[in-house]
Amino acid sequence: MKIKASTEVCIYFLVIILSLAAILMILCSPEQFRDVKIVYQIF
Amino acid sequence: MTPPAFSSTRQALGFVLLLLFLLLLPLLLQKPLLPPRAEIYSSLSWGAGSFPWLHDQIFEEKGDIDIAFMGSSRMGWGIDTSQVEERLSQALGRKAVVRSLWWNTPGCDALYYIIQDLLRRRNVHCIVLHDCTSGHDAHPRAPYFFRWAEDSEELDGVPLISKISFYTSAVLGAPRNLLGLLRTNLPAIPSPDITWQGGSTVFSNIPNPFSRLGACAVPMRIDAPFVEYTPPPTAHPAEPVIYSEATKDQFRFDGTKFFAMQSSFLRKVGDLARAHHTRLICLHMPLVDEPNPSVIEETAYWPDIFQTDVTIMGVIPSRFKDGMSDEDFRKLFFNFEHLNANGQKYFTSVILPGLLQLYENQSKH
């Protein structure tokens, strides 16, 4: 199935928006949340 | 040349769906899908605070608690709970129930959610807490105790930046909650001692708080080898001071502005205390170097912040140190803000008369 060009733009747009949202969330959170070891322990 | 992030648009789509799922998981995990709150406490180890003991006290043990010392590690390390229970039992003529319930890292959100869990299950006559205010973001343990479907309503009045921080906590905590649906956590291993690593320090063979009514007596100093030490008797022994019109000159409130999130949760703690008829006492915990040793300096006049009755009590720093050299005084502390096993025993003996007086007066009313 061929993905339409406009859908493709939309997907990459979402990749950027969601990645930025995740980065914003981490930046607004305790420093510990940037520590992979601690995040791993939470999981 | 840097290779592209995705080898195909389909792979990018997969990434979008995965991110969407992870970021929306707190909203998808509605109340019926959440494991019981007891699982929160049993999923945290001694390295995060007294969580195995908190689990026992909130979800297993039944009956009233006369006095609960609650707050961050400064409280858990600073109070000899057995000494208080013994003296209070003598004063009341019955077996008193005194507990220390504490966790690592200050933060009024942790204080609120843990007090809420406790008061939902047990009647607590008096909670002794200390200044455990922190910044504008969620507590490092919020991924455990904060679950969006259950707790987001409590964020009314909390600034947006803090709300984002809580949502992030819920995102990080969601996979563990999903896991909690599949299996329960194992209970804490009963052992005479506990060991954990905090930063670069290994705390080894510390008496298990289960055997000390929740208190953590740390026989260590961060700057020197630990030696047992009892301060010598002085002509004018240190004594506790309870804030009142007559003693207000012995206190100073430095008026530091709180982060709105911290004061918002302290107001909620005040509401909880009022609703459950629980007395609040705010205890000034000693530091190695107090900015002004001649007065008891607290961040705020607590009744204004909690918006309910809060008794403020402390020991004038210069009186607490009376008769000790700087080096001897250091023998009471693990680091600049945590009392060790020596300091725990001594500080408790100093504040006990004030605490007993407050509790007995409360019992008469």
C-alpha distance from B140 to closest chain A C-alpha (Å): 6
Going residue by residue through chain B (365 aa), what tens digit of pLDDT does each one get?
Answer: 788 888 889 999 999 999 999 999 999 999 999 999 999 999 999 999 999 999 999 999 999 999 999 999 999 999 999 999 999 999 999 999 999 999 999 999 999 999 999 999 999 999 999 999 999 999 999 999 999 999 999 998 899 999 999 999 999 999 999 988 888 898 888 899 999 988 889 999 999 999 999 999 999 999 999 999 999 988 888 999 999 999 999 999 987 778 999 999 999 999 999 999 999 999 999 999 998 899 999 999 999 999 999 999 999 999 999 989 999 999 999 999 999 999 999 999 999 999 999 998 876 66
Q: What's the gap between Cα B94 and its chain centre?
A: 28
The torsion of the CA quartet B173, B176, B181, B185, rounded to 10 degrees, works out to -120
pLDDT at B364: 67
Chain A residue with the nearest C-alpha to that of B159: A28
Alpha-carbon span B145 to B364, nearest angstrom: 36
Using a CB–CB cutoff of 8 Å, tell me whether A28 touches chain B: yes
Per the listing, tokens 């809580």 go with B166
- A27–chain B nearest CA distance, Å: 8
Spatial separation of the C-alpha atoms in residues B85 and B219, rounded to whole Å: 21
**Residue B220 token pair:** 């260590």
Nearest Cα residue in chain B from A5: B9
Give the C-alpha separation, A37 to B48, whole Å: 14
Query: Which pLDDT band, with edges at 50, 70 and 90, does A43 fall under?
Result: low
By CA distance, what is B167's nearest residue in A? A25
Q: How far is A14 from chain B (nearest CA, A)?
A: 7
Assess contact for B279 and B303: CB atoms under 8 A. no
Q: Are strands B201-207 and B124-129 parallel, antiparallel or unpaired?
A: unpaired
Whether the Cβ atoms of residue B215 and residue B81 lie closer than 8 Å to each other: yes
Distance from CA of B15 to the nearest CA of A (A): 7
Closest CA to B115 of B105, B106, B104, B102: B102
* Among B196, B179, B57, residue whose Cα is nearest residue B123: B57
Is the model's pLDDT at A2 over the cut of 80? no
Question: Mutation test of the interface with chain B: which of A29, A36, A39, A41, choosing the one with the most B Cβ atoms within 10 A?
Answer: A29
Determine contact: A13 vs chain B, CB below 8 A. no
B→A contacts (Cβ < 8 Å), by residue, are 5-6, 9-10, 12-13, 15-16, 19-20, 23, 137-140, 142-144, 161, 164-165, 167-169, 171-173, 175-176
Tokens of B121: 């299950």
Contact B287, B332 (CB under 8 A): no
Between CA B309 and CA B325 the distance in angstroms is 38
Distance from CA of A20 to the nearest CA of B (A): 11
Residue A25 to residue B164, Cβ atoms within 8 A: yes
Question: A42 to chain B: which residues are within 8 Å by CB?
Answer: 143-144, 172-173, 176
The answer to whether residues B250 and B317 touch, using CB atoms and an 8 Å cutoff, is no
Distances (CA, A) of A28 to A32, B144, B168: 11, 18, 8
pLDDT 10s digits, A9-27: 999 999 999 999 998 888 8
What CA–CA distance (Å, rounded) separates B301 from B59? 33
